[in-house]
Structure 1
Amino acid sequence: MGTLIGHVIPGIGFFIIGLWHLINNIKLHSLNPKSYISLPFFPTSKSKYLELYFMMGCSSFYILLELVFGQIGHHLFDSDGAIRSNHLRNFEHAFITLWMLVYSVFAKILDKHGRPKSKYGLTMTLAVVMFCQEFLLYHLHSTDHMGLEGHYHWFLQIVIFVSIVTTILSIGYRNSFLISFVRSFSILFQGVWDIVMGIMLWTPSVIPKDCFMIKEEYFRVRCHTKEALDRAKALTTLEFSWYLVVFVVLTMFLYMYMTKLYPEKAGFEPFVKYDREHEKIEDNVDTKKKSVKSDLLDTLIEA
């Protein structure tokens, strides 16, 4: 992923998914805050699974970009079949995206064939594993992330950790709009920071003073002195704070705009009405099964 394109493309994907969830969660809560309930993904008027198809397509394309298209003229493996050390990062990035593909595929399967009472919890558990995998692979990255690039990735790990925590909480607190709101924002901000990293680390004209780009196993930023590196890291910290403030403000404006656009409606039924009906049907079936078993036991006792 050590290129501008390698950060910007997944960043755009995270940004779109995060914004989509943010808009839909605000809309659902605005229409009926008393019966709000979160969803793992949101349908569109044209397709119920368009969001999942988008994730499948983007993740498949990025895996091919990391391991096929981006490696034309390069060899990923040595003659003995071992992965070359300078390409370990490509496999790590591909595995991050692979989990997104796994999540989106099983989210659709569970929605179509899973039990109503358990499919939401299982889907969100897959999302937790996906974010944990992403966090661990960034934290234990094979590439040396001690310099300026490491400082950018350290901030990215903070945002991913917020996604992990809020996703875990959303399993037990499905009615909490605040948890879903923060989770959606964290996914959006992952995308923002990925895009910022791609631009700031691989665009020569915006590299900090007294720092330069050099090609080692890939292009990376180095600084002439420790003072220059410390200054570059301090600027990155200010940059993160600035982007966080800007997008928090924009998100609050979005919230206020959408609450006016979608006023509360009495008797509004959220998307999960279908699931609730199936839960009731399943409960009735279970009750009938218990009744039949009880009658059979009574018959056996009388005999």
Structure 2
Amino acid sequence: MVSTQDFHRYLPLPEGALCFIASSAFCAEYLLFYFHSTTHKGLEGYYHFLLVILIALCIISTVAGALMRASFPADLSSGISMTLQGLWFYQTAFTLYGPMMPEGCKLKDDMISCKSMDNQVRGELLATFQLFALVNGVFVAAVGSYIFAVRKYGHSELKRVHAGGNGFDRN
């Protein structure tokens, strides 16, 4: 197995370079889906539009991670945005091409068509609800993971406060 020291010896990269490489990959994905989604109209176009927004969040968070290398919030936002993007891919697949198609809409000849504008608006509202449900689910999972980690491994500043200190080192 190759260690990180061996890897850096063969391919020396400055700190944060991996984040910039990842952001360039997200930029390519953004351009692909941005131009791809211009051909989709209606409900399918709306799902693609929401995907493009999530990809833009991935770009912003990975660039922030490159600029602020030791920032926990930047790393957390990057992980959350990538998780949301991946979950949205699945949500789009299940909704548009699977069993969760909104009532009044159907897949016909590789196109999503809705019977009326009301059905399309209801489908778009459903998409917005699905996205916010995913955002809330990922938020609850992140907070739950943080609470679990703090309980299991503790927090050094909190331990100093409980031990009688104020949590800050004075030298």
CA 1:48 to 1:188, structure 2 compared with 1: closer, same or farther past 3 Å? farther
- Map 1:275-286 to 2 at 5 A: none
1:176 aligns with 2:76: no
2:106 counterpart residue number: 212
1:129 aligns with 2:24: yes
CA 1:260 to 1:237, structure 2 compared with 1: closer, same or farther past 3 Å? same
C-alpha contact (below 8 Å) 1:110/1:119 kept by paired residues: no
Using the TM superposition, give the Cα deviation of residue 181 of structure 1 relative to its aligned residue in structure 2, in angstroms: 0.5
Using the TM superposition, give the Cα deviation of residue 185 of structure 1 relative to its aligned residue in structure 2, in angstroms: 0.9
Task: Using the aligned pairs only, state the percent identity.
Answer: 25
Letter in 1 for 2:135: L
What's the C-alpha RMSD, in Å, of the aligned pairs? 2.4
SS of the equivalent of 2:39 reads coil
How many aligned residue pairs are there? 156
Larger Rg: 1
C-alpha contact (below 8 Å) 2:114/2:120 kept by paired residues: yes
1:257 counterpart residue number: 148
C-alpha contact (below 8 Å) 1:209/1:228 kept by paired residues: yes
CA 1:236 to 1:175, structure 2 compared with 1: closer, same or farther past 3 Å? same
2:130 counterpart residue number: 239
Using the TM superposition, give the Cα deviation of residue 142 of structure 1 relative to its aligned residue in structure 2, in angstroms: 6.8
Letter in 1 for 2:89: D
CA distance in 2, matches of 1:199, 1:111: 41
Letter in 1 for 2:43: L
CA distance in 2, matches of 1:130, 1:244: 23
Using the TM superposition, give the Cα deviation of residue 130 of structure 1 relative to its aligned residue in structure 2, in angstroms: 0.4
SS of the equivalent of 1:206 reads coil
Using the TM superposition, give the Cα deviation of residue 228 of structure 1 relative to its aligned residue in structure 2, in angstroms: 1.4
CA 1:248 to 1:165, structure 2 compared with 1: closer, same or farther past 3 Å? same
Using the TM superposition, give the Cα deviation of residue 121 of structure 1 relative to its aligned residue in structure 2, in angstroms: 2.9
SS of the equivalent of 2:154 reads coil
Using the TM superposition, give the Cα deviation of residue 230 of structure 1 relative to its aligned residue in structure 2, in angstroms: 1.4
Using the TM superposition, give the Cα deviation of residue 259 of structure 1 relative to its aligned residue in structure 2, in angstroms: 2.0
Using structure 2 for the length normalisation, give the TM-score.
0.80
C-alpha contact (below 8 Å) 2:37/2:48 kept by paired residues: no
2:164 counterpart residue number: none
CA 1:143 to 1:194, structure 2 compared with 1: closer, same or farther past 3 Å? same
C-alpha contact (below 8 Å) 2:37/2:49 kept by paired residues: no
1:155 counterpart residue number: 50
Using structure 1 for the length normalisation, give the TM-score.
0.47
CA 1:112 to 1:142, structure 2 compared with 1: closer, same or farther past 3 Å? farther
CA 1:249 to 1:123, structure 2 compared with 1: closer, same or farther past 3 Å? same
CA 1:127 to 1:168, structure 2 compared with 1: closer, same or farther past 3 Å? same
SS of the equivalent of 2:87 reads helix
1:14 counterpart residue number: none
CA distance in 2, matches of 1:192, 1:181: 16
The Cα offsets for residues 126-171 of structure 1, whole Å up to 9 and x where unpaired, read as 1111011111110011772222111111111111111111111112
- 1:198 alignment partner, one of 80, 93, 97: 93
- Map 1:41-52 to 2 at 5 A: none
Letter in 2 for 1:226: M
List runs of 5+ in structure 1 lacking aligned partners.
1-45, 50-108, 267-303
Letter in 2 for 1:184: G
1:226 counterpart residue number: 117
List runs of 5+ in structure 2 lacking aligned partners.
158-171
